[in-house]
Amino acid sequence: MAKQIQKFLLISIDCWRYDALSRTNPNFNTPKFDLLTQGFSLADRFFVAAPATRPSHVSLFTGLYPFEHGLYGQTYLKMFGGVQNLFQLFEAEGYHVFGRSERSEVFRFLDFESYITARDSQAKSQHLGSLEEIIESLTTPADQPKFSFLHFWYTHGGYGLSGVRNAPNLGAMVKAGQTEEALRYYYAAVTHIQEFLLVEILKLLDLDQWAIFIFGDHGEGFDTEVMAHGDVLHQNVARVPLLANIPDVDQISFPADQPVSMIDLFPTVTYLAGIETDYNGYGQNWLDSSEQTSQQNRWVLTELDSLYGVGFLKASNLEMPRHRVTSRVAVDGEELPRDPNGRRMWSVTDGDVFYREDELSGHWVLRSITDGKDLDCPDPQLYRNHYEDLLIGSNYQRLSMQDSTEEEEQILEDRLRDLGYIE
């Protein structure tokens, strides 16, 4: 085992695509960032557990798939009760725990909400805010154990360049056939984060002391099938970069042709810190040689549930098959209807092929991870079996929804009233 790590930094770049990195795209130019991260390991086939910010981060901090932790989509829903998360575990071990986000409200009502605040509380536009508070929290006191999380939103390309006045609508550009031009705007936003934000942070840290993980919470489509994320599972959304620096570990032996998953960060990080947990999920510790062997023939899952809609506080919260619960099913005893345009999708991948299925329509697709081309699929049941194996084999089937707070109930009720579902 590597020595017990005292300092951790997890950096999430919203909508960070696999090709928005110089190591994967020779036309991507970030010399300062590349210099500082030249010793970082790259997980070439890293996949998120969900194509939306909230469920993806819940999977990050719990090591569980969405069907296990109970939060499927981007709506303000709650996790199942009794799920441990990294913030609580590290705080209990005496670490200074803090998180900063350019869109901290997306973490509302989650069990770790209190740990994540705005990047700069004084800034009207967070992407223009100061880094001073973040840097101070990371660097002082120098000898204090730290568990820290940063979340950058500027790359949220489906909405144009977040916070930029008169920014182009990237979705409209793709729809008009200007995909390459839209991608250039998006690459510019990623470059800004890497070269002008992360560089300012990383250059002040002693990489011999800090375990640092930089990753996308999901990607972005920029494809005729899907422009953004959250409504269709797509290989451009599910596969994202992961860069990792671990003191005393030259290079992590990520498998070249096997998948690694967002849920793997939980067992890896707790292992590095020497924190004992009762974790019994599908996540695999990247530094455990026995688990490296078990990577062979591994299939990892990405899930999407938008039966209530993709946005926040949509009305159609309902109980799902296989003990899946999205949220409360009724307000004042009145059951809420499904969104007729909603979807329930899942995908599995072995790092080579990507299989996606829509549960409601039964439509499926099989395609190559490397080039995105559709492949022949004589027997979809083979991939359904992989999915069913994950459902059946989970050790978290008996978790149940937490009770709502008065604040949550009031906000939900007000939103439903605004939508016309209740009087």
Average pLDDT per 10 consecutive residues for the chain, totaling 423 residues: 83 96 94 97 96 93 92 69 94 96 86 91 78 93 95 72 69 86 89 95 96 96 82 91 93 85 97 96 88 72 66 39 39 51 82 91 92 94 95 86 70 67 67
Res 122: pLDDT: 81
Res 171: pLDDT: 80
Res 385: pLDDT: 96
pTM of the predicted structure, to 2 decimals? 0.88
Q: Which residue has the tokens 């930029």?
A: 164
Contacts of 148 (CB under 8 A, 6+ apart): 8, 9, 10, 97, 98, 99, 137, 138
Q: Where are the domains of the chain?
A: 7-294, 300-419
Res 401: pLDDT: 67
Res 400: pLDDT: 73
- Yes or no: say if 240 and 218 are a contact pair by the CB < 8 Å rule: yes
User: 7-294 — its CATH code?
Assistant: 3.40.720.10
Task: Please state at what angle helix 265-273 crosses helix 53-62, rounded to 10 degrees.
Answer: 40
Res 280: pLDDT: 96
